[in-house]
Amino acid sequence: MKKIPRITALVLALALLLSLCGCGSVDGKTHLKFQIWDVAQRESMQAICDAYTQKHPDVVIEVQVTSWNEYWTKLEAAAESNTMPDIFWMHTNQILYYSDFGILADVTGLYDDVEAGYYQNHFSEISIGNAQGSDGRMYGVPKDKDNIFLVYNKEMFDAAGVSYPDENWTWDDLLSASQAIYDNTGNYGFMAYNDDQMGYWSFVYQAGGYILNEDFTRAGFDQPGTKKGMEFYVGMQGYDWCPKQAYFAETAPGTAFFSGIGSMYVEGNWELMNKCVNFPNMDGKWDIAPMPKCPDPVSGDGRATISNGLCYSTAAHGKTREIVMDVLKFFGSEEAQLLASSYGAAISAYNGTEQPYFDAFDEKGYDINVEMVMDQFEYGVQNVNNSAKPKWKSPVLDELNKVYNGQQSLDEAMAKMQSIVDTETAKKLAGD
């Protein structure tokens, strides 16, 4: 018999009670709370809320922003007390944890009265996957899609006499450019820090390996391609041009880059506009390029990048359910997604609404090759995820950190990482 986690038991026990989400009607209006974690997207989220309330003046939507860590702490506490926000962002790292035990509302049929196959007709397979539970049902309306890429300092490349990276770059080019820049400028080359989506994952898939198998039931740390990708990524730590992990404990790669200390790092498109706004002195001095490809993969063509995306969700139970569902329906419309995209903070998930995101950079005069981001979606790999991920994500990185610290070999770490993922996944599948 499957066991229900504490968080789920409490939610289900309160399922028949009215949600205490803070919705009020003292002024005759319905007040909704919309929780997000990125202050850089407050303006775009407020814009789509305003677009909805203009058509429905009896509804008020308050956008609330908290930090990433605080967001998940508060959301879990709210789920336990049945006081969840009316609308909130859901991340692929957490959606299975919340959806598989009935905490999120099923929105699979949200557009049945609009268009048959609405999700499939207007959103990519990855965007749909980011909003699905283990049962294949939709537990959120796709919000955006993202990709990661190489960020590089043009001035440091020029000083070292190295050509800028392009779609033909391989791992070998990444190494040689890093060495040349370090030798000629004294600055760091590629800054490879211990992370998954922004770290070794892309290199694993480029080499023909995988983190989880196709049905998400078993890890792939015992695969030749996985080992090849991780050997390359972790191996960069041995070069003088790559900072040690202790350095990253104090200074993030992006901070080092925009401080003029490092020449290359991996970033996601959700941060591009924020970087342009916050570092105007760097305008024209940096750009982005595709992730370098593996020159000799175990399988595949050597290209891969991790693609992620958020969705708009709501709790399974709440006294404003009908109104909230209507808001979610609007958020997933072409109108709302075009509007959100126009702020340049995120690429909307709705197919055909991407261009305003790129236009926003031109309109503001930022000299960045943002159009390149779309090209990488052709070989994007969905952000690695299964329902046990909250249990294995940190322990896996902890084992890898021991490699960086010289406490164990990569082979030893990968064996442990395989065991951690497989064990936690098996527990989750068994209902523990």
Q: What is the pLDDT of residues 146-198, one digit of tens each?
A: 999 999 999 999 999 999 999 999 999 999 999 999 999 999 999 999 999 99
Asked whether residue 232 carries a pLDDT value surpassing 80, the answer given is yes
- Residue 300 is part of which domain span? 148-307+385-430
pTM of the model: 0.90
In a domain, 332, yes or no: yes
Q: Do residues 180 and 198 both lie within one domain?
A: yes
Nearest in space to 347 (alpha carbons), one of 330, 367, 370, 324: 370
pLDDT value of residue 319? 80
Same-domain status, 408 and 418: yes
**Residue 20's domain is classified under what CATH number?**
3.40.190.10
Question: Do both 137 and 232 map to the same domain?
Answer: no
- Which of the four pLDDT bands, split at 50, 70 and 90, describes residue 25? low
Residues 105 and 219 in one domain: no
Backbone angles phi, psi at 138, to 5 degrees: -90, 125
Residue 119 predicted with pLDDT over 50: yes
Contact present, 306 and 383 (Cβ < 8 Å) = yes
Q: Tell me the percentage of the chain whose pLDDT exceeds 70.
A: 94
Contacts of 189 (CB under 8 A, 6+ apart): 177, 178, 179, 181, 182, 239, 241, 242, 262, 263, 264
Are 237 and 281 contained in the same domain?
A: yes
Alpha helices in 243-301 (DSSP H): 245-250, 253-258, 272-278
207 and 189 assigned to the same domain: yes
Average pLDDT, the chain: 93
Is a pLDDT exceeding 90 seen at residue 93? Answer: no
Are residues 224 and 98 part of one domain?
Answer: no
pLDDT recorded at residue 429 = 86
Confidence of residue 26 (pLDDT cuts 50, 70, 90): low
Domains identified in the chain, total number:
2
Question: How many residues are listed for the chain in this entry?
Answer: 432
